[in-house]
Every structure is written in C-alpha cells, then in structure tokens.
Amino acid sequence: MTQSQLEFNDEGWPVVKPSDCAIAFGIPVSLEDFQRKPAHGFARQFRQSNGRIERFVADYELTSGVMKDCQACVITNLTLERFGDLFHRHQVVILFSHVEKSSMEFADGLVEIERVVQQIPEKFDGILDITMCFSRNLFRDLKRERPKCSPFYATEESLDAQAWLFFYKALFMYLKHRELSYPEASKDLARGFLGKV
C-alpha cells in the first residue's frame, strides 16, 4: 500500500449502497461514440485492433447492466458540466476516464485537470474514486483545492479499462449484499480481484 493510500482513513465512513454511487464515463462506451472520434483520446488505442472495440462495448453493456440492476447510477457521454452536477446527488462519484498528461477526457473533449477540480463543489465531503484514471496531478490538486472531498484510488497497478469494468461490476454487487463503507468494500475487493487478474 502506498503512502497516498495510507492517508485515506477507512474508519468513520458510513455504509454505502450502490444507490449512493454514480459511475461516470468520460470515455466512449458505444460503437457510435467510438466512430464519432476514432483518433481522439481513449479511442485512439483501438485504431489498429480488429474487434477490440466490439469486445470493449460488449463488456461495457454486460457490466453496466449489472451495475444498473444493483441501483447504481451509470452516466455515459459525461461532459464537464454533467460531472459537476453529480456531486449534488451522490455520496460517491467514480470517474471512469482517460488521462493524457495534465488533461482528462470527457465527451466534450480533453479538459485540463484544474477545470475538472473546479467542477467539484467546495462543500462536497464525499468520495471521488479516481482509480481508473489515476492522475497524481488530480490527486494533489483535490487535496489542496477541495480538502473536504476525499480522492480515492484502490491501487496504482495498471489494468486495462475492461478489467476495471468488471471490478466495478463486482464492487457494486459486493456493496449491495454487504454492510460496508466504500473504502472497506473497494479495498477488500481489490485485494482478491487483483490477485486473479
């Protein structure tokens, strides 16, 4: 466990259910999304790969269906403005996006980390999970600019986006059937999940 993870205190967090959480996709998750900007951001890595887009989209449809069945809020085509709105309705926001240097991908393009942080209300005292799109710049800026917000990441290990889809599907199933805080559930699951991937 890294020093940054140790700073996140698991104690004192309330029990959460999937209905308290939103998972928000700033990357393309449908064939139409991929076709709209094939050389842009996350989609660029699929350009020379036969069938990989279709497999990713199929995995998204499978896993997001389970997430929705668990009553989690699943947001696609995430714009910067929609991202900011999530913090008024959810205790936990999971940002599922792609990072390039000091920018993050949203449906409306790459956005500088500083602008991403500005979308989070200063009074938000919940969790922003940045596991999938972990950025040291985002983590640092959140700690400095939004001290009430708790940026969280389960691991620094590099897994592909499809693996993270299945991780979050399993996490919402786990939260649905257990009485756990988000940090407890995520870290419990990460230990077992990452051992098998």
Q: pTM here?
A: 0.90
Cβ(9)–Cβ(184) below 8 Å: no
Residue 9 lies in a domain: no
- Mean predicted confidence (pLDDT) in 17-21: 97
Residue 4 lies in a domain: no
Domains contained in the chain, number: 1
Q: Express as a percent the part of the chain with pLDDT over 90.
A: 70
Residue 5 lies in a domain: no
The separation between CA 143 and the C-alpha centre of its own chain, rounded to angstroms, equals 17
Residues 90-131: tens digit of each pLDDT: 999 999 999 998 999 999 899 999 999 999 999 999 999 998
Give residue 185's domain range.
16-196
CATH number of the domain that 90 lies in? 3.40.50
Q: Where are the alpha helices (DSSP H) in the chain?
A: 3-6, 31-36, 52-69, 80-86, 113-118, 136-145, 161-177, 182-196
Band of pLDDT at residue 155, cut at 50, 70 and 90: low
Residue 10 lies in a domain: no
Is the confidence at residue 6, as pLDDT, over 50? no
- The mean pLDDT value of the chain amounts to 89
pLDDT of residue 9: 52
Residue 101 lies in a domain: yes
Is the confidence at residue 80, as pLDDT, over 80? yes
Residue, of 117 and 47, whose pLDDT is higher? 117
Strands 103-106 and 99-100: antiparallel
